[in-house]
Amino acid sequence: MTKRREGGIINNGEMPERTLTDLQFRYETHVHTCQASRCGVSTGAEQAEFYHSLGYQGIILTDHFFGGNTAVPRDLSWEDRVKRFCSGYEDALQAGKRLGLDVFFGWEQNYQGDEFLVYGLSPEYLASHPQVETWTRAEQLRYVHEAGGCVVQAHPFRDRDYIPKITLCDLFADGIEAANFFNHPDWDARAYHFGLKNHLPMTAGTDNHRAAGFVEKGETPFATAFSQPLKGIEDFVQAILTNAPMELCVTEDRLNPVIPPAREVYRLRQDETRERIFAPGEPWVTPSR
């Protein structure tokens, strides 16, 4: 077994007092379906079956929303677009009911390569709020809060061609996705230490587009785990908003050591100007532990 669950450290950089084995309710916080994401390969039902087979307590569907790589045509009515968008989730939900897996709804919105996981709003909310599509980052945070949800920046230090500038948007989110299975481990280590230093709630997710790939390779996806099962997505939102202890279930040593970035890293300020905070190769200051 080359993978094990790494201890989660959330609000203050301390290890939770409980032991890792106590935190046994695992959730996938970042998963796509082919019904709603253009890059998705597995159906919602296939994803549900996959995570159920691994003993997860639940999954949160986060298909690419309309600013990202959506599979939903733009020339339909808003109602039909939302219906199509939610069809992967609905498929997973039906399978989850049959299997005994909790299935929650969310989405992943894209701005300029910086992406956000939105949790806690419902398909009904989307259907009645077409303005969601045109929200700025600040509006997104404000209106998601007003509706009882939360916003987590996905893979903030990801360094890929489709991302014009690595932009940390922690001021426009409630937390960050510190570990993302398909990231390079260095990117996750940077995110994790940035999160520790700034006392940000942190999650781990897989960004899983294809359940079969994991089955074939025998790999273990990431998870965020809790000591008690979540009664609903609102419990997850509360955990993020209160910076409650969560275990990041990731590959051993995933979040260390921190290698300086090869590209500039910017932080988006409140006025939306980008401020460079890390130059390429600059020594990385590891927060004291």
Computed from CA positions of residues 45, 47, 48, 53, in that sequence, does the dihedral angle turn out positive or negative? positive
Closest contact distance (angstroms) between CB of 69 and Zn ion is: 5
Q: How far is CA 222 from CA 73, 123, 160, 161, 213, in A?
A: 31, 26, 20, 24, 14
Closest contact distance (angstroms) between CB of 218 and Zn ion is: 22
Instruction: Please say which residue, 108 or 174, places its beta carbon nearer to Zn ion.
Output: 108
Closest contact distance (angstroms) between CB of 84 and Zn ion is: 16
Closest contact distance (angstroms) between CB of 213 and Zn ion is: 13
Closest contact distance (angstroms) between CB of 167 and Zn ion is: 17
Site of tokens 């409140």: 270
CB-based burial of residue 18 (10 Å sphere; 0-12 exposed, 13-18 middle, 19+ buried)?
exposed
| Spatial contact of 154 and 128, defined as CB atoms under 8 Å apart | no
DSSP per residue over 111-158, as a string?
SSS-EEEEES--HHHHHH-GGGGG--HHHHHHHHHHTT-EEEEESTT-
Identify which of 37, 60, 84 has the alpha carbon closest to the alpha carbon of residue 210.
37
Strands 265-268 and 274-278: antiparallel
* Residues in binding contact with Zn ion, number by CB under 5 A: 3
Q: What is the DSSP letter of 37?
A: B
Instruction: Please say which residue, 29 or 220, places its beta carbon nearer to Zn ion.
Output: 29
Distance CA(195)–CA(180), nearest Å, equals 14
- Per-residue mark of binding to Zn ion, 74-113 (x: CB under 5 A): ----------------------------------x-----
Closest contact distance (angstroms) between CB of 271 and Zn ion is: 28
Site of tokens 């935190």: 23
Closest contact distance (angstroms) between CB of 180 and Zn ion is: 8
174 binds Zn ion per the rule CB under 5 A = no
Closest contact distance (angstroms) between CB of 155 and Zn ion is: 8
Instruction: Please say which residue, 108 or 114, places its beta carbon nearer to Zn ion.
Output: 108
Within 261-280, the residues that bind Zn ion by CB under 5 A are: none
Q: Which residue is nearest to Zn ion (CB)?
A: 39
Instruction: Please say which residue, 49 or 207, places its beta carbon nearer to Zn ion.
Output: 207
Rg (CA), the chain: 18
Instruction: Please say which residue, 46 or 196, places its beta carbon nearer to Zn ion.
Output: 46
Instruction: Please say which residue, 222 or 278, places its beta carbon nearer to Zn ion.
Output: 222
Within 26-55, the residues that bind Zn ion by CB under 5 A are: 39
Within 185-224, the residues that bind Zn ion by CB under 5 A are: 207
Instruction: Please say which residue, 137 or 278, places its beta carbon nearer to Zn ion.
Output: 137
Instruction: Please say which residue, 39 or 171, places its beta carbon nearer to Zn ion.
Output: 39
Within 108-137, the residues that bind Zn ion by CB under 5 A are: 108
Q: How far is CA 94 from CA 44, 71, 222, 230, 233, in A?
A: 9, 21, 23, 19, 17
Within 237-256, the residues that bind Zn ion by CB under 5 A are: none
Provide the binding-site residues for Zn ion, judged by CB under 5 A.
39, 108, 207
